[in-house]
Structure 1
Amino acid sequence: MTEQVHLGIALERSGWHPAAWREASARPRDLTSARHWRDLLRTADDAGIALATIEDALALTDRFEDVDALRRDRVRGRLDAVLIASYAAPLTRRIGLVPTVTTAHPEPFHVATGIQTLDFASRGRAGVRLVAGASAAERANFGRRSSGVDAIPASGRVEDSAGILAAFREAGEFADVLARLWDSWQDDAIIRDAATGRFLDADRVHNIEFEGEFFSVTGASIVPRSPQGRPLLTVLAHQTVPYRLAAEHADLVFITPHDADGRPGFALPGILSELDAAADELRTGRERLRVHADLLVLIEDTEAAARSTAQRLDEWDGAPLTSDARIVVGTPADVADAVRELAAAGVDGVRLRPARQPADVVAIAEKVVPLLRSTGTLREDDGAGTLRARLDLARPESRYVRERVSL
């Protein structure tokens, strides 16, 4: 039997190739238009793609890019990912909407209420992707921190940087606070009994009373419990420390296996084994961590055309495209084959990063998805009402209901 996966897509301004905005098919004047994002998300939605993540950042530069040597031949500026998702919520039907949020500067209370509101606006299709860390450019934009994450250590290991370790501890607290705030209203807290004048049962709204290393949050959310109970919480992870963050706090983790080039620590079996071990140690509850693998894709009808396009983009940018994810430059069949390989290896889903938008988004929707569907690789939409249900994740009960029952 063919192993099946959910398919996701990762949207990033004009695409994941830095020179994508210069393509003839690109729409650089539309990158800050509502129409641009509506069209991309509707294309993915109509194709049956399960979820779309939307990239975001808190600085004009890319992370760790030198502020004093800012390249002017790349796309600069972006729209707020949570607001894009909220705008698209009533304009889409089934696709999950998962904006990116950096955990170093926004307050978890604000993020919790924003994502809950998105969950209501989308009728249960909201999620969030948390990014740990605070670069120098981000810190300068907020002016509240003197230290943060200025560079990846020479070893490449998160464990060798005290700043990065602190950023991931902060991200863990951030995720914990989100979940507690999402649980703070029980499902039946709102009574709406006009005859007795009781709109709310105050005993079913709970202050979270959280005190941690980075955050101190006393009260309950201002937003009632949303359709999914807890919207989908996701992270991208490459090595041990972020794997442990995902295992303890996330519903879904995006990973970046590189089986083809033999990079140490990037073989898929090793990643899955490490995630399983971390989950056994840290995870509470019965729900299994879902694992989706990333691929960066550039798609043309022939391999020669795809290679030619990639070469042209690389020449415009002045260097070959590099990525934390495996890069597939080829035909729709090549991308479908790569997805099937990952499905056979045991992942729950695959997230495709289009090198060019909208060209590769359209190619995924119109050519890759039908190929995956024809071979039975794509998990079909079963009509489940929420993103959690579509991904076979149970709707969690509020922790405060469990606590009251156990008293």
Structure 2
Amino acid sequence: MTHLHLAVALDGAGWHPGAWREPDARPAELFTARYWADLVTEAEAGKLDFVTIEDALGVQSDDPTQVQGRLDAVLIAARVAPLTRHIGLVPTATVTHTEPFHISKAIATLDYVSKGRAGWRVQVSARPQEAAHFGRRTVRIDTTEAVSDLFDEAADYVEVVRRLWDSWEDDAEIRDAATGRFIDRDKLHYINFEGRFFTVKGPSITPRPPQGQPVVTALAHAEIPYRFAERAADIVYVTPADAADARRIVDQVKVKHVFADLVVSFRPAELESDAKVVTGTPGQLADLLQEWQAAGLTGFRLRPARLPSDLHGITRGLVPELQARGLFRTEYEPGTLRDRLGLERPANRYAEGARVA
């Protein structure tokens, strides 16, 4: 029986807007390293494939009764990486308004700090108030063409990042004390990317990551983002309504890993979400995952409605149920996040290309 992949999406006190008021919530600790370390180590205790960490360029809501404010997701991941050994760390980083050079070295650094467990959730920004933080441009999504432009820019961004990751060959660092040469300059490469949205020369200042290419992921709800995911991502998160919808999406999106996003609450919950909200027992949730896996999904990204209680329900209730059915690992195997997901370590595209002078 094929094992499914399982991730959790961490955001503040949970995906329910009132989660911070729960008795076991820790609202006073949301902006501490210990809070995030506890969540990620709990996810690792459940043998999950990876965690994603939410982030954005603006506050979550204008409603003062809801959690507002975040720490930087990439920095959270870097902080908890040394406290974990196996679980993948996939922070969200927005591509609109930011520079691919900066994200390339941030995720590459995370891959080094985590010893090959880094990923990246690519996110676009279409909110006018987020554009106003930067003051360089406005962003429109009032036409199909404008939405396509936003995702075309994101695709170019990811392509630049991937080329920068490859701009050092794996053996570029020779560290030859006898000759005094730390770097083989012939193994550093200009990427010379020229596109509609970016012109980037390279090379990176960070050596090629341990995975070669950290895992790139994206959330997609419709046709245009589906096409973006096909161009740019290793994993796409989708939001089916049921098993038949999941099968339709899997047939439509040609990405190796298609994960369904589900908001999970082990107690009754009323909340609006872009993803299906699932309540019930761990056994009932396991039934649903098994049914949807049969529709062609390779994994699931579960959004706990309340933290830490629904995360505990996943790691201490759902995971043992799936293990008993032979659907989930009982121990981690050695290797990188790419290894765990069955993704080969890609060859360096510049290994035989033009050299830096």
TM-score (norm 1): 0.84
Is 1:256 paired with 2:223? no
Match of 1:83 among 71, 75, 88: 75
Asked if the contact 2:218/2:229 (under 8 Å) is kept, the reply is yes
SS of equivalent residue, structure 2 residue 289: helix
Q: 2:253 aligns with which of 275, 286, 290?
A: 275
Does 1:24 pair with 2:27? no
User: How big is the shift at 1:247?
Assistant: 0.9
| C-alpha distance after superposition, 1:88-126 (max 9, x if no partner) | 110111000000011101210000000000000000000
Q: Deviations over 1:337-369 (max 9, x none)?
A: 111112222211111110001111111111111
Structure 1, unpaired ranges of 5+: 63-69, 154-159, 261-265, 280-288, 300-305, 311-319
- Does the CA-based 8 Å contact 1:5-1:378 persist in structure 2? yes
Instruction: Name 1:313's counterpart in structure 2.
Output: none
1:184 aligns with 2:167: yes
The 3 A distance-change label for structure 1 pair 341 and 207 is: same
1:381 and 1:120 map into 2 onto residues whose CA distance is 23
Where does structure 2 lack aligned partners over 5 or more consecutive residues?
Answer: none
Correspondence 1:363 to 2:313: yes
Pick the aligned partner of 2:195 from 188, 212, 224.
212
Deviation of 1:251 after TM superposition, in Å, equals 0.9
Matched, 1:144 2:119: no
- Local SS of the residue matching 2:278: strand
User: What value does the CA root-mean-square deviation take over the aligned residues?
Assistant: 1.5
Q: 2: distance between equivalents of 1:142 and 1:187?
A: 36
AA partner of residue 59 (structure 1): G
Residue 84 of structure 1 and its aligned partner are, at CA, apart by 0.2
Give the secondary structure class of the aligned counterpart of 2:55: coil
Alpha-carbon distance, 1:379 to partner: 4.1
Q: Partner letter of residue 170 of structure 2?
A: D
SS in 2 for 1:399: coil
Quick one: distance in 2 between partners of 1:383 and 1:197? Answer: 39
CA contact (8 A) 2:246 2:296 kept: no
Answer yes or no: is 1:101 the counterpart of 2:79: no
| 1:144 Cα deviation from its structure 2 partner | 1.3
In the TM superposition, residue 143 of structure 1 has moved relative to its aligned partner by: 1.3
Aligned-residue offset at 1:197: 1.2
TM-score (norm 2): 0.96
Residue 188 of structure 1 aligns with an amino acid whose one-letter code is D
- The equivalences for 1:388-407 within 5 A come to 388-401=338-351, 403=353
Q: Percent identity?
A: 49
How far the C-alpha of 1:403 sits from its partner, in A, is: 4.2
* 1:382 CA displacement: 4.9
Looking at structure 2, the residues matched to 400 and 241 of structure 1 have their Cα atoms a distance apart, in angstroms, of: 30
CA contact (8 A) 1:18 1:74 kept: yes
Separation of aligned partners in 1, 2:154 and 2:91: 16
Q: Is the 8 A contact 1:210 1:218 kept in 2?
A: yes
Q: Provide the residue aligned with 2:263 in structure 1.
A: 296
Cα deviation, residue 268, structure 1 = 1.2
Q: CA deviation at 1:194?
A: 0.5
Which digits, 9 at most, give the CA deviation of each residue in 1:30-62, with x for residues without a partner?
111111100000000111001000000111244
234, 256, 271: which one aligns with 1:321: 271
Contact 2:47 2:329 in 1 (8 A): no
Structure 2 partner of 1:286 = none
Q: CA deviation at 1:381?
A: 4.6
Answering whether residue 283 of structure 2 is matched by residue 333 of structure 1, we say yes
Deviation at 1:4, TM superposition (A): 2.1
State yes or no: 1:46 paired with 2:45.
Answer: yes
Residue 216 of structure 2 is matched in structure 1 by 233
Residues 304-363 of structure 1 deviation map (CA, whole Å, 9 limit, x = unaligned): xx22xx2xxxxxxxxx41212111111111211111112222211111110001111111
Return the match for 2:180 from 191, 197, 222. 197
Aligned partners of 1:389 and 1:340: how far apart in 2? Answer: 23
CA distance in 2 between partners of 1:246 and 1:111 (Å): 18
The amino acid across from 1:390 in the alignment is R
Runs of 4+ in 1 over 6 A off after TM superposition: none
Q: How many residues end up aligned between the 2 structures?
A: 354
